[in-house]
């Protein structure tokens, strides 16, 4: 059988990887993005994967699709790195190419997750009686939806973190790279493939670096704080992965941000600060609820607990919506 959809994607992927000149690379990238964005082509590719899986006894359609899409992501990473190493003038689209391909590949699973979330909220609205069976059904329901493999997720995370330390890349796409980081941290089927020690430490280090140098907040700080919250919420709540080794640096990062807010009088009520506070105290609430005994020791050192609690009380009077909801969760966990 002739797998036409596969051949089209495979050719576009090869063209991107083989492009040696920047203009050819950009044209090949645009063509691959265009093809992958076509719903009909992706549907035909899925149908071909089902047929191919029947012909290969030990393969599944998901495995075949992961190989195809994985090659596209690897080609995008290779092309982006080639551009970054060259002396040519860079554009935002050159640096964010792997993120664009990644987002297109998992577009269908994002839609499936949104639908499940809507169904879950409707079930809660209808006051479905709580049972451990229903809890397990709603927890981690997207565990097998992604078509991005563990290897590609690791390479995307490395690319993101490496280029957040690259001044030239940050000049063109820092906010987008941080948005990529928070997306990678946003789903349990992504975070489950992170290394529980060095990947978590590297993300914490990057978040601290962004927050400490951003004087008044902004898109970069908000995205960094969101990545921080997403990561620990998935680790603790969705995946139940042991993070006891990260409790001290995690709380220290939050307290450092709190103390910078205290030292900058008059800026803590900004919209960006409110967003960041929601993410910071969201992490604090999750950590306190999940690891109360370890937190007692950490919060008792260097006035961590006092500063964290006092700042929460100060923010309470002006908090609204999501920030107030998170502060309620934090104060409940603290008490």
Decide if 123 is inside a domain. no
Decide if 112 is inside a domain. no
Tell me: do 202 and 326 sit in the same domain: yes
Tell me: do 333 and 203 sit in the same domain: yes
Tell me: do 63 and 1 sit in the same domain: yes
Tell me: do 234 and 272 sit in the same domain: yes
Decide if 54 is inside a domain. yes
Structural domains in the chain (count) = 2
Decide if 75 is inside a domain. yes
Q: What is the DSSP letter of 236?
A: I
Query: For residue 231, which of 285, 281, 186, 284 has the smallest C-alpha distance?
Result: 186
Tell me: do 180 and 210 sit in the same domain: no
What is the chain's mean pLDDT, rounded?
Answer: 86
Decide if 137 is inside a domain. no
Which structure tokens are listed for 235? 């680790």
- 224: pLDDT strictly greater than 50: yes
**Count of all residues that appear for the chain in the document:** 335
pLDDT per residue as tens digits for the range 21-54: 999 999 999 999 999 999 999 999 999 999 999 8
Tell me: do 74 and 158 sit in the same domain: yes
Rg over CA atoms, the chain = 22
The phi, psi pair for 186, rounded to 5°, reads -90, -10
Tell me: do 179 and 264 sit in the same domain: no
Which structure tokens are listed for 96? 């964010």
Q: How far apart are CA 126 and CA 287, in angstroms?
A: 30
C-alpha dihedral over 266, 268, 272, 277, to 10 degrees?
180
Question: What would the mean pLDDT of 114-124 be, rounded to a whole number?
Answer: 57
- 121: pLDDT strictly greater than 60: no
Tell me: do 179 and 206 sit in the same domain: no
Tell me: do 173 and 209 sit in the same domain: no
Tell me: do 212 and 163 sit in the same domain: no
Range in 139-148, 150-159, 239-248 with the lowest mean pLDDT: 139-148
| pLDDT band at residue 186 under the 50/70/90 scheme | very high
3-state secondary structure of 134: helix
Could you list the residue range(s) of the whole structural domain that residue 208 is in? 197-335
Question: Which contiguous run of DSSP H or E holds residue 98?
Answer: helix 97-105
Question: What would the mean pLDDT of 285-298 be, rounded to a whole number?
Answer: 90
Q: Which of 184, 212, 234 is the last residue of a domain?
A: 184
Which structure tokens are listed for 67? 């190989």
Give this prediction's pTM. 0.86
Q: Which of 163, 184, 205 is the last residue of a domain?
A: 184
Q: Which of 156, 184, 212 is the last residue of a domain?
A: 184
- 131: pLDDT strictly greater than 70: no
DSSP string for residues in 37-95: H-HHHHHHHHHHHHHHHHHSTT--HHHHHHHHHHHHHHHHHHHHHHHHHSSSPP-HHHH
Q: How far apart are CA 24 and CA 20, in angstroms?
A: 7
């Amino acid at each position: 059988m002739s797998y036409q959809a596969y051949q089209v994607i495979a050719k576009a992927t090869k063209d991107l990887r083989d492009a040696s000149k920047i203009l050819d690379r950009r044209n090949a990238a645009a063509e691959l993005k265009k093809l992958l964005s076509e719903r009909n082509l992706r549907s035909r590719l899925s149908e071909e994967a089902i047929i191919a899986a029947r012909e290969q006894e030990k393969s599944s359609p998901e495995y075949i699709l992961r190989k195809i899409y994985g090659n596209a992501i690897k080609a995008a990473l290779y092309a982006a790195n080639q551009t970054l190493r060259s002396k040519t003038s860079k554009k935002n689209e050159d640096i964010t190419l792997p993120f664009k391909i990644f987002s297109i590949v998992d577009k269908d699973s994002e839609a499936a997750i949104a639908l499940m979330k809507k169904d879950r909220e409707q079930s809660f609205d209808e006051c479905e009686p709580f049972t451990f069976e229903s809890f397990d059904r709603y927890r981690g329901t997207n565990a097998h939806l992604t078509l991005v493999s563990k290897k590609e997720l690791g390479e995307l995370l490395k690319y993101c973190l490496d280029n957040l330390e690259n001044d030239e890349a940050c000049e063109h796409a820092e906010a987008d790279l941080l948005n990529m980081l928070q997306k990678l941290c946003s789903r349990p089927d992504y975070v489950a493939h992170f290394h529980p020690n060095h990947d978590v430490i590297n993300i914490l280090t990057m978040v601290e670096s962004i927050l400490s140098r951003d004087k008044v907040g902004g898109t970069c700080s908000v995205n960094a704080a969101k990545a921080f919250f997403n990561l620990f919420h998935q680790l603790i709540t969705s995946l139940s992965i042991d993070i006891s080794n990260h409790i001290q640096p995690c709380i220290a990062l939050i307290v450092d941000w709190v103390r910078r807010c205290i030292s900058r009088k008059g800026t803590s009520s900004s919209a960006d600060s409110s967003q960041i506070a929601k993410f910071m105290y969201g992490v604090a609430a999750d950590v306190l609820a999940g690891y109360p005994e370890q937190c007692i020791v950490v919060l008792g050192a260097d006035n961590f607990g006092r500063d964290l609690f006092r700042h929460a009380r100060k923010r309470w009077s002006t908090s609204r919506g999501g920030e107030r909801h998170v502060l309620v969760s934090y104060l409940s966990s603290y008490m």
